[in-house]
Structure 1
Amino acid sequence: MPLLPRHGAIRLKPALDDRDKGIKLRPPDFGRPPVWLLGSSGYSAQLAAHLGFPLAFAAHLADENLEAAVALYRAKFRPSAVLDQPYVIVSSGVMAADDEGEAQRQSWAYSHAMMRMSQGKSFVVPTPEEAESYPYTDREQQIIEMWDAKTMVGTAEQVVEKLNARQKHINADEMMILNLGHSPAAIHRSTELIADAYGLPQNISE
C-alpha cells in the first residue's frame, strides 16, 4: 500500500519581486506543494475531476460517501497539467493502542467532542473519564455511536487490517490517517504502533 504520493510537485515562480519589495526569498526558486482537493461529498469529487486534481476524500468525516464519490471522480476525471489520470487519497480516522480497550476509550472521547460540535457547543476533546461519566440522552448516544463507527479502532494489527481492507476495496493510490483521541501521548503512541506495524523506518533517511 503506497503511503507517499507519486505525483510530482508543481513548480511556481515566486509571487513577489524581492528587488521591489526588499524581501529576499530563500531559496530564490521553490517547488510548490502538490495540489489536491480535500472533500467529503460527490460535489467535491466532481470538482476534483473537473479540475484534474488528485482527490483526497475525508472518510473520517463521511465514510458513507466514500465509495460513490470515488467512483464519480474516476468516471468524470479530466486530465490536466497537474495530473494525467485519477489519483485517490483516502483519509481515515484511526486510534491504535497496546490495549484494544484503551484505543476505544480514546476514540470515544474524540467522538464525544464531535457530538458536541453537532450541537453547536465547544468540541474540545474531553478526557476518556469525562466522556465515560457524561449523562447521555438517547439522541446523544446515537450521535456519538455514529461518529465512533467512523474511526478504525483497536490494536495496531487490527487497525492496519482495516486500513488495508479499505485500500484494497477502494483501490486507493494513497492512504492518509488521522489519529483521533484525547491525549497527545495516546495519539503519538497510535502513530508509532501503526508505523511499526507497516515496518516504516524510524528515521526518514533510512
Structure 2
Amino acid sequence: MISKTLSLVTLFVVAQAATNLDYSKVHLLDYKPNGNTWLFRTNLPMVDGAFAYDKLRGYMAQRAAEINVSFPSADQALKISDFSLLNWFEEPDLLTTEQTFFKENPTLGDFSFQQIAGSLLNPNDYNEENLRIFYILAMDNGGERLPTLMKTFYSQIHDHIPSTPTAYIIHGKNGTERTGEIAGTYIGLLLVDGVQAWTGQKMAWL
C-alpha cells in the first residue's frame, strides 16, 4: 500500500485551468506492492482533442519512478482503465472522444464514467477542528455513493489480479474539484486518517 507521506503529498496540487494533459496533475494514489495494478489521479488525458495514451503512460511511468515503484516499460504490455468523472450533458464531446479511443483500441484498456457534481463545500472555509465534520458530510454528498465507489477502486487495486498490468486513472477535466473529491475520499476513507487527508485536500480542491 502507498505510504501515508506519499498519499498526503499527492493531495497538495495547486488548482489551475488545464484542458491538455498536464504532468503536474498526474499523481500516483495507490498501488499493490509486488503486483501489477496502480491507481492514478490526473486531469483530462487528452492533447489537442485526442486521447493521449502514450504521453499519459509516460507520465505515469515517471511518477512511479520518482518513488521507486515498479511500472511497465514502454515495450511491455499495459492497459489503462479510464474512469471519467465528466458530465455527459456539459462535456459530451470529451466523453465521446475517450469512449471512441478505447472502442477502437480494446487491447489498450477500457472506459467507464460516473458523473459527479463535486462538493459545493470548500475545505478552506473550515478550521482543522471542523474538518472531520466536513469529511463526514462529503462522505454522504449528494447521494454520490463515494464510500462504495472507493471500496470498489480499492478492491481493483489490491484484490484483483488482471492478466495484463493495469493502471486505473480517475479524472475530471481540470484534475481539481471532482478529481480532488474522489482522491480525498479514497485516501481519507481507506489509506489514512480522514482529518489528515482533508487537511491536505484543502489545496487541491478548488
Q: Shared fold by TM > 0.5? A: no
| Larger radius of gyration between Structure 1 and Structure 2 | 1
The higher-RCO structure (CA 8 Å, 6+ apart) is 2
Q: How would you bin the TM-score normalised by the shorter chain? A: 0.3 to 0.5
